[in-house]
Amino acid sequence: MTANSSFWNRSDLPTLACDPFYTSPSGLDALKPGTVLRSRPAQVSFFGRIRHRATSVQLMYRSTDSHGQAEAAVTTVVIPRGKDPATCPVLSYQCAIDAVAPRCFPSYALRHGAELVGASVQAELLFITAALKQGWAVSIPDHEGLNGLWGAPYEAGFRALDGLRAAVGHPELGLAADSPMALWGYSGGGLASGWAAEAAAAHAPELDIVGAVLGSPVVDPESVARRLNASPWAGLAALMIASLVHVFPEAKRIVDDHATDDGKALLGEIEGMSTGAAIRRFRNFDIADFVDISFEDLFALPELRHVFEVTRLGQQVPTMPILLIQGVHDKIVDVVDVDKLAQTYVDGGAAVSYHRDPLAEHLLLYPVRVPISLRWLRGRLANTDRPNSRHSWPALLDTRTYFGLANLVVAAASQIVS
């Protein structure tokens, strides 16, 4: 092994299971959501190896799960250099975690010394850095919670909102409670941002959330499961199923009653995998091969129908303006699902901007939508934009995309600690 490969493959951090910071304290029911339980400084780093100049702190705080029970959650708050925190808008950035393994959570993956766990979360520090260059403080919650519950309804949103409460309520950070705030995420992070946008009015009405960017959100878990089954992306559907078994007792009963021994073993195996590892391991896997009933009979079970119904975005209409971004040729999230969500929000009275990109697919849109998102967020946080719009000019044919991507690289380079 070369010195260079050793550099990239080593891990100097304890896993979350061995780190006492993540131990949930007792007595959470008596505390208000967003109450900070403990804090510590944290060195944020590109891909776990290249130190970032920004000041960052990790907060454990009281939040709420999808069953209304008090729980502990963690966020990493990053403050831009050279800015008075009291004047900073605050952005909650929801990473595209997707995996259920703790080593893929942002509070681990973004710290110096973390193992290289794939591009999904760690590459997003580039996007977060671009937000910091705007002068915004950024809260990066572990929106799947301490147990990696991807796809659970509402609770990812609660963790994002309570993470904002914790950030502005922690005196050492110096952020103002009345700061304008925004939400931003892509794919699984878009789903979490969607739940936060839908829950904000009821769960955290005191927060001044002026906009939310939902990039290719996983609107409909049933649609995604059908679309990805027996495809090269089948591992994403398997990750979602492995998570929902822990959220819904009825989903666990279906596994207990209908999954084969091989199917149960595979679900246990996937819980320790990163997103990339799951995609490789379960490429082209067919759910029907691991249950004792047909695919359609499985999806027709009343218990599963209930799970899919309550995990679909569109349960509530957001009260803040929304930017939806979706590629027409997306192989993971169907553009038809995002079209329906946009119409649901519009019919409910929401101010919706929709970039429906005719050339992009899911992975390509992942980076190229960043300049679009930043422009829209700047307008919302400065209250100078026109929040109702719909356009389909391809991001790949917009010169601003390339200037924006170049600025990402420049911003990242300027934040490297030499």
Which neighbouring-strand residues pair with 325? 215, 355
- Contact by Cβ (8 Å): 185, 95: yes
Closest alpha carbon to 48 in 2, 96, 9: 9
Q: Is the dihedral of CA 358, 363, 367, 372 positive or negative?
A: positive
Is 187 designated active site? yes
- Of 179, 243, 362, 385, the catalytic one is 362
Among the options 330, 337, 357, 385, which is catalytic?
Answer: 330
Alpha carbon distance, N-terminus to C-terminus of the chain: 25
b/e burial code for range 87-106 (CB count within 10 A of at least 16 → b): ebbbbbbbbbbbbbbbbbbb
Question: Catalytic pick from 63, 107, 187, 193?
Answer: 187
- The tokens describing 8, both together, are 């990239």
Tokens of 280: 């490789």
Cα–Cα distance for residue pair 149/239, rounded to 1 Å: 10
Backbone angles phi, psi at 326, to 5 degrees: -150, 140
C-alpha to C-alpha distance for 331 and 312, rounded to whole angstroms: 19
CA nearest 204: which of 235, 181, 172, 232? Answer: 181
Q: Nearest to residue 60, comparing CAs of 166, 147, 148, 157?
A: 166
For the question of residue 98 being annotated catalytic, the response is: no
Which residues make Cβ contacts (< 8 Å) with residue 352, sequence separation at least 6?
A: 321, 322, 323, 324, 342, 345, 346, 387, 388, 390
Q: Is 362 annotated as catalytic?
A: yes
Beta pairing partners, 39: 59
For 38, counting Cβ atoms within 10 Å of its Cβ (0-12 exposed, 13-18 middle, 19+ buried), the class is middle
Dihedral pair phi/psi, residue 68, rounded to 5°: 85, 10
> Do residues 282 and 234 make contact, with C-beta atoms less than 8 angstroms apart?
yes
Q: Give yes or no for a contact between 198 and 226, defined as CB atoms under 8 angstroms apart.
A: no
Distant-in-sequence, close-in-space partners of 343: CB < 8 Å, separation ≥ 6: none
- What is the rounded CA–CA span in Å between residue 15 and residue 148? 14
Q: Which residues are catalytic?
A: 187, 330, 362
